[in-house]
Amino acid sequence: MRAVALPILDATHDLDPAAIESVRERGHCVVRGLATAEECASYLPEIQDGVDRWHPEPSPLADRDTYGKAFLQAMALRSVHKQTRGFVDSPRFAGVAAELLGVEGVRLYHDQALFKEAGGGRTPWHQDQNYWPLDTDDIVTMWMPLVDLDPAVGSMTFLDASHLDGDVGAGEISDSSDAAIERSIAVGNRSTTTHGALAAGDATFHKGWTIHSAGPNPTDATRPVMTIIWFADGARITEPNSPQQEFDLATWLDNGTPGTVAAGRRNPRLWPPS
Ligand SMILES: O=C(O)CCC(=O)C(=O)O
């Protein structure tokens, strides 16, 4: 194992009140300069290592389904590759998440790297929260590129104010969620927003029900993105309503009992720091 001194990401970030308003009203926002390019560059090899462990021999893109073509997904790096912990447990990031949600404290749901490979496909429209057996809508995901993004790849696209729609019934991320949401956007004539090509250390945040997608990667370089999901401290586990929620309950919520507060060993409270 490499012995590298990784930066401590604890200095607080002075959050623009417009970002809080944007999350409240549109379900997403961008926060520029949340990490420095140097901080991202320090963690990138560790996060890359975690992705390589999850995907030692990725199958050819052509052999994968739409979801598989969208990115290499490597979850809970914090647990399997401890060098990533300084990034995932960052009080700076968790503090921003709490502020954006307007809650006192947040716990980790899980982290995941989403590396869209060269030639990788579009990320279909979907909602995240239908995977999560929790009784709160105060859940937010940070999506942070670890290098400057090529404008041809860009960041995510959000359907404005869709966090207020709740579950639109599009189901898990797939061609079918994509088609269902495309149809409803066309019918509803609703606005979408992308925050464009972000620099390393900029981040978008979106709420659990916010409908979102991302473009393909037509470049010859991988798009390395790290994501972290937090929920309001005090949220309770709900009865799982699908095989996906059963998986999440067992995997991310330590098989906790429905009705109890979600505070398992994989869900440390990251804000306020202890
Ligand atoms: O990175 C992507 O292409 C999509 C990410 C996403 O859907 C998410 O972070 O919820």
Dump pLDDT digits (tens) for 184-225: 888 788 999 999 999 999 999 999 999 999 999 999 999 999
Tokens of 50: 């975690």
- The pTM is what? 0.97
Polymer length of the chain: 274
Does 71 sit in the ligand 1 pocket, CB within 6 Å?
yes
Does 132 sit in the ligand 1 pocket, CB within 6 Å?
no
Return d(Cα 70, Cα 217) in angstroms, integer. 9
Task: Give, using CA atoms, the residue closest to atom 1 of ligand 1.
Answer: 114
Residue 90: the pLDDT is: 98
To which H or E segment does residue 148 belong? none
3-state SS class at 55: coil
To which H or E segment does residue 162 belong? none
Cβ neighbours of residue 14 closer than 8 Å, sequence gap 6 or more: none
Regions of the chain where pLDDT drops below 70: 1-4
Residue 4: the pLDDT is: 66
Contact predicate 57/50, CB 8 Å: no
| Topology (CATH level 3) of domain 21-261 | Jelly Rolls (2.60.120)
Cβ neighbours of residue 23 closer than 8 Å, sequence gap 6 or more: 29, 100, 101, 140, 205, 206, 207
Q: What would the pLDDT profile of 230-265 be if each residue is shown by its tens digit?
A: 999 999 999 999 999 999 999 999 999 999 999 999
- The closest-lying atom of ligand 1 relative to the alpha carbon of residue 114 is 1
Residue 92: the pLDDT is: 98
Residue 273: the pLDDT is: 93
Q: What's the CA-to-centroid distance between 123 and ligand 1, angstroms?
A: 7
Q: State residue 224 phi and psi, 5-degree precision.
A: -90, 115
Does 252 sit in the ligand 1 pocket, CB within 6 Å?
no
